[in-house]
Structure 1
Amino acid sequence: MILGGELLSAFGSGATVSYLIVYLYKVCGVAVAAASVLLIVRALLAIAGAAAGGPLTDRIGSKYAAAITLAGAGIASLALASARQPAFGLAAASIVTALQLMCMPALDTMLAITVPQTRRQTAFAWRQTAINFGAASGAATAALVLSREPATEGLPLIYILDGASYILYAATILTFIRVGGRQNSLPQKPEDLDGSRSSSSYRRVFEDRPMRWLLAIVAIVVSVGFTQFEIGLPALVVNGGINPAALGWMYAVNAIAVLSLQLPIQRLVIGRSRGVVLGSAMAIMTVSWMLVVVSLGHGTALLVTVGAVFGIGETLYTPVVQAIVNDLALPHIRGRYNGAQAVTHTTAWLLGAAVSTAFLASGPSGTRLLFMACMATLLIGLPAAFRLQRALPAGLARVPDPASDSADRMASRLPERTEPDPSGDRNCPTPGSIIG
């Protein structure tokens, strides 16, 4: 049910993600300059929403946090669909963004506690597949609607679809999901090891040494990887005089690569070092940017190849990161662990966008320098993956086999990880250390 809901909400998001500025300009009468400023405001609201989503999830439970924020995002999206005034449109768009990010820690937490620990990574891989399929379907539907209807009528329609998808997902969670209620097993004394700090704060998350290394990897990969896929490559098309249709082909091939390779690759990496898997993802993304640097004049063929190569890196990166976050998480602050990952992702995206804008301001030469800088950053960041590997407790260091029924039975009888590992001792006892 969760994966079906993810597919549904991704369908709505995929239909609208490329059209916000166009909608505000054509339907609400917002000046292009003001709409562009909204992108910065939305990024800040996204960070705030992700940060608030963690504590909300831990306080009321992932089920109710997800349902409330999804329903709120749906209502705000429907309000945006009815907006015809600039102020109303800007306010509705801002609320949608904040609630979209606020629900992410709850959704990550809910999926993580729905499946046994040995199957978390596979569950997140399935979710990535569902999201990509839903987003691709939504984008195709939006293109079909807008090819038949004028923008002033078609754009509100796709935002109605977006709002409905969120509300239906919230209803599905409330009706069918039986896990994710409020945590009842809070520590009797919510104090840190020295008795001076709360065990239910974000500070507790950042004291977890493996988590710190993981967040460093997230910051690197998002800022010079995913952000440049969304900003740097479109700028390459503009500055390089490439046919804009090439972008559509690139994103289509990227989606096909993720959809077709996500699950086979997850089977391939079973038993492999998680640090090596993440390092491989970073290396593959480096190769994709190397292709850009050495082949700037090759147009559509270049972009299609880059989309496919980058997609392979995505399939390695995303499920591993989300599984490690939830394997490391203390049960009573799992929402904050997922919130920390969401905040890092969003902040890194904003930083990457700012840096890329500075490079791209100088035209085609700046585009080449941007991707060279991205390559260098990924290569410099590679040791972080191996530092993470050494910091992980022994039982969490390798990708588990989701088909291991005996491992699932053992995991179900063992307590979750109860304390962060500030020393990074790989022999720290955890459920995973017995599972192997």
Structure 2
Amino acid sequence: MTANSDTLPLLRRMAMLPRAAWVICIGMFINKLGNFLNVFLVLYLTSEGHSAFLAGVALGATGLGGFVGNVVGGSIADRFGRRSAMAVSMFGAALFTVLLPASSNVHLTIALAVLVGFFAQLYRPAAGAVLVDAVPAAQRLTAFALLRLAINLGMAIGPAIGGVLSALSYWYLFAGDAIACVLFGVLVLVMLPEIKPEPVAPMADAPTTKAGYRAVFADPALRLYVLSMIAATFVYVQTTTTLPLHIKDAHLSNSFYGLLLGLNAILCILFELPMTKLIERRSARHVIAFGILLTGIGVAGTGLTTTELTLVLTVVVWTFGEMIYTSVATTYPGTLAPAHLRGRYQGAEGMAVSIAQTAGPAAGGLFYAVTPAGHWAACVAISIVAALLILGARARPAAPAEVTRSPGL
């Protein structure tokens, strides 16, 4: 990477990314393209005669499994290697996804949903760690933005395919999901060299050091980062939880809400990757803080308007906030992490997102039911707190650490 590479055209910069980054991005596109289970699980279970409550419990069980998967996945990535963690994740997710519709007992189905969620998220810390390991620091923001583009494209196309498959048979949904997982797993095994950090040997006269997640959360900057991401993600998930409630209360249609989400997806696909060139040379903490604040203002602005045009404007505001901070925030743990803990640092980021995605809908819905105006005002306040937290999350000076890499990386 040359010193003036930040002036290169976007396509050239993408072409300069190492093979490992492209393997992760292509694999994630395939995975999200076939990620039907979370979208259609409730519809499937209710069609089988189960109550909406139990269907909701099963969907929540996948979230619980995903939280644990992030934690364990970080440890596996650091101990046994990135490729191993991703392969186990994808093949395990494929197996339990196929088994889930074979169960006629709803309690067994919920247990299988936990396992699906666990294996489906086990890969996440390893994938993030690969991008940190393989991509030079100057290119990481482009790599993580490309990853976001791959995810958004897959999630934009996947539900439409799932809708067609579900009209034929729900079994096709689960089979398609499993096939996508297997394809990602095979791609990783064939195309991605194993990456495993060298363990850090303690000095003979040094005191006993913390290991694993104890070492991760002993880092003050990481703790502030995690708290910031929990707060920021709590605000963002209101776009899929309390925003539709506001749309309903404003006597607007569900189809209009769908158009708002479609607008969000289109803006992300068109502008997020090119935007990296504008923000990559600025302080990561300042960029994240600004994006979080813009997201909070846009989300809170929802409560101030009930017309279609002004609601569209609020979506544009929080979408640009999302685009500004999300890729940078996902990249930031790699700035904080020593080489031998990169998987766990990425796992901590996944934990923060999982916590907010699990608690955010319930807490936001409850607060909205009590006081809608107070709820939207709280979104601004929480965003301010999140921005202040990330501003305090300064990276400590990096200690030299070795990472074993294959020549093809």
* C-alpha contact 1:205 1:336 (8 A) present in aligned 2: yes
* C-alpha contact 1:289 1:372 (8 A) present in aligned 2: no
Look up the match of 2:379: 374
Look up the match of 1:33: 53
Number of residues of Structure 1 aligned to a counterpart in Structure 2: 381
Look up the match of 1:18: 39
Residue type of the alignment partner of 1:354: A
Aligned counterpart for 1:392 among listed residues 395, 398, 403: 395
User: What is the CA deviation profile of residues 369-414 of structure 1, one whole-angstrom value per residue up to 9, with x for unaligned ones?
Assistant: 21221112112333223223xx23589xxxxxxxxxxxxxxxxxx9
| Displacement after TM superposition at 1:92 (Å) | 2.5
* C-alpha contact 1:329 1:417 (8 A) present in aligned 2: no
The verdict on how the C-alpha distance between 1:234 and 1:16 changes in structure 2, with shifts beyond 3 A counting, is: farther
Look up the match of 2:208: 196
2:294 alignment partner, SS class: helix
- Alignment of 1:210 with 2:232, yes or no, is no
Look up the match of 1:90: 110
| Displacement after TM superposition at 1:250 (Å) | 1.1
Look up the match of 1:173: 188
Aligned counterpart for 2:234 among listed residues 223, 234, 255: 223
Look up the match of 1:320: 328
Identity %: 24
2:381 alignment partner, SS class: helix
Task: Give the distance between the partners of 1:162 and 1:303, measured in 2 at CA.
Answer: 34
| Displacement after TM superposition at 1:253 (Å) | 0.6
* C-alpha contact 1:24 1:35 (8 A) present in aligned 2: yes
| Displacement after TM superposition at 1:316 (Å) | 1.5
- Alignment of 1:2 with 2:24, yes or no, is yes
| Displacement after TM superposition at 1:345 (Å) | 1.4
TM-score, structure 2 normalization: 0.86
User: What is the CA deviation profile of residues 239-274 of structure 1, one whole-angstrom value per residue up to 9, with x for unaligned ones?
Assistant: 333201112111111011111111111001131111
Residue type of the alignment partner of 1:189: P
Task: Give the distance between the partners of 1:381 and 1:248, measured in 2 at CA.
Answer: 28
Task: Give the distance between the partners of 2:384 and 2:246, measured in 1 at CA.
Answer: 22
Aligned counterpart for 1:104 among listed residues 124, 135, 144: 124
Task: Give the distance between the partners of 2:285 and 2:187, measured in 1 at CA.
Answer: 36
Aligned counterpart for 2:253 among listed residues 233, 243, 253: 243
| Displacement after TM superposition at 1:235 (Å) | 2.2
1:241 alignment partner, SS class: coil
* C-alpha contact 1:75 1:167 (8 A) present in aligned 2: no
Residue type of the alignment partner of 2:65: L
The verdict on how the C-alpha distance between 1:202 and 1:145 changes in structure 2, with shifts beyond 3 A counting, is: same
* C-alpha contact 2:89 2:122 (8 A) present in aligned 1: yes
* C-alpha contact 1:291 1:302 (8 A) present in aligned 2: no
Task: Give the distance between the partners of 2:142 and 2:402, measured in 1 at CA.
Answer: 20
For the aligned residue pairs, the C-alpha RMSD in angstroms reads: 2.4
* C-alpha contact 2:61 2:110 (8 A) present in aligned 1: no
User: What is the CA deviation profile of residues 211-247 of structure 1, one whole-angstrom value per residue up to 9, with x for unaligned ones?
Assistant: 222212211101122x212211122233333201112
| Displacement after TM superposition at 1:57 (Å) | 1.2
| Displacement after TM superposition at 1:130 (Å) | 0.5
- Range with greater deviation from structure 2 (78-87 or 246-255): 78-87
Aligned counterpart for 2:242 among listed residues 232, 248, 264: 232
Task: Give the distance between the partners of 1:39 and 1:133, measured in 2 at CA.
Answer: 23
Aligned counterpart for 2:200 among listed residues 187, 198, 212: 187
* C-alpha contact 1:16 1:139 (8 A) present in aligned 2: no
Aligned counterpart for 1:309 among listed residues 317, 322, 336: 317
Task: Give the distance between the partners of 1:157 and 1:307, measured in 2 at CA.
Answer: 34
| Displacement after TM superposition at 1:71 (Å) | 1.0
- Alignment of 1:158 with 2:169, yes or no, is no
* C-alpha contact 2:61 2:114 (8 A) present in aligned 1: yes
Task: Give the distance between the partners of 1:32 and 1:223, measured in 2 at CA.
Answer: 24
Task: Give the distance between the partners of 2:146 and 2:203, measured in 1 at CA.
Answer: 35
| Displacement after TM superposition at 1:137 (Å) | 0.7
| Displacement after TM superposition at 1:22 (Å) | 1.0
- Alignment of 1:55 with 2:67, yes or no, is no
- Range with greater deviation from structure 2 (16-25 or 247-256): 16-25
Look up the match of 2:138: 118
User: What is the CA deviation profile of residues 148-191 of structure 1, one whole-angstrom value per residue up to 9, with x for unaligned ones?
Assistant: x2xxx4332222211110111001100111142x33x2112289
The verdict on how the C-alpha distance between 1:367 and 1:30 changes in structure 2, with shifts beyond 3 A counting, is: same
* C-alpha contact 2:59 2:113 (8 A) present in aligned 1: no
| Displacement after TM superposition at 1:416 (Å) | 4.5
TM-score, structure 1 normalization: 0.81
User: What is the CA deviation profile of residues 330-362 of structure 1, one whole-angstrom value per residue up to 9, with x for unaligned ones?
Assistant: 111211111111112111222322311322334
* C-alpha contact 1:222 1:349 (8 A) present in aligned 2: yes
1:165 alignment partner, SS class: helix
Q: How does 1:58-69 map to 2 (within 5 A)?
A: 58-69=78-89
Residue type of the alignment partner of 1:292: T
- Alignment of 1:353 with 2:361, yes or no, is yes
- Range with greater deviation from structure 2 (30-39 or 115-124): 30-39
User: What is the CA deviation profile of residues 27-76 of structure 1, one whole-angstrom value per residue up to 9, with x for unaligned ones?
Assistant: 3x322122223344333322222111111111110111111111111121
The verdict on how the C-alpha distance between 1:5 and 1:35 changes in structure 2, with shifts beyond 3 A counting, is: same
Task: Give the distance between the partners of 1:348 and 1:42, measured in 2 at CA.
Answer: 14
Runs of 4+ in 1 over 6 A off after TM superposition: none
Unpaired runs of at least 5, structure 1: 396-413, 419-436
